[in-house]
Amino acid sequence: MSRGLSFYLRIYVKILVQDLKSKMSYRADFIISMVGMILTNVVGFVSFKIMFSNFSSINGWSYNEMLFLYGFSLIAITPMQCMLDNNWSLRMNVYNGDFIKYCFRPINLFFYYESEVFDAKGLGQFGFGIATLVYAWNKLGLPVTFFSIIKTVIFAITASLFMMAMQNAAAATCFWIDRSFYVLDLTFRLREYAKYPVTIFNPVFRFLFTFLFPIAFIAYYPSLVILRPDKVPMLSWISPVIGVLWFYMSYRIWMRGARKYNGTGS
The nearest distance, CB 30 to another protein, in angstroms, is 8
Nearer CB in complex with another protein: 196/251: 196
As measured in angstroms, the least distance from the Cβ of 66 to another protein is 11
Residues that bind another protein (CB under 8 A): 26, 28-29, 32-37, 39-40, 43-44, 46-47, 50-51, 53-60, 177-179, 182-183, 186, 189-190, 193, 196, 200-202, 205, 213
Helix, strand or coil, per DSSP, at residue 58: strand
Least distance to another protein, CB of residue 228, Å: 17
Whether 213 contacts 190, CB under 8 Å: yes
> Whose Cβ is closer to another protein: residue 31's or residue 150's?
31
Q: 200 or 245, CB closer to another protein? A: 200
Instruction: Determine the Cα–Cα distance for residues 177 and 91; give it in Å rounded to an integer.
Output: 10
- Helix/strand/coil (H, E, C) string of 215-237? HHHCCHHHHHHHHCCCCCCHHHH
Phi, psi of 58 (to 5 degrees): -120, 115
CB-nearer residue toward another protein: 152 or 187: 187
Nearest Cα to Cα of residue 218 among 76, 120, 84, 115: 76
Nearer to another protein, 50 or 238 (CB): 50
CA distance 193 to 175: 27
Name, in order, each residue with C-beta under 8 angstroms of 11's C-beta and a sequence gap of 6 or more: 107, 115
To another protein, the closest distance from the beta carbon of 108 in angstroms equals: 27
Minimum distance between the CB of residue 194 and another protein, rounded to whole angstroms? 10
CA-wise closest residue to 11 among 107, 82, 87, 83: 107
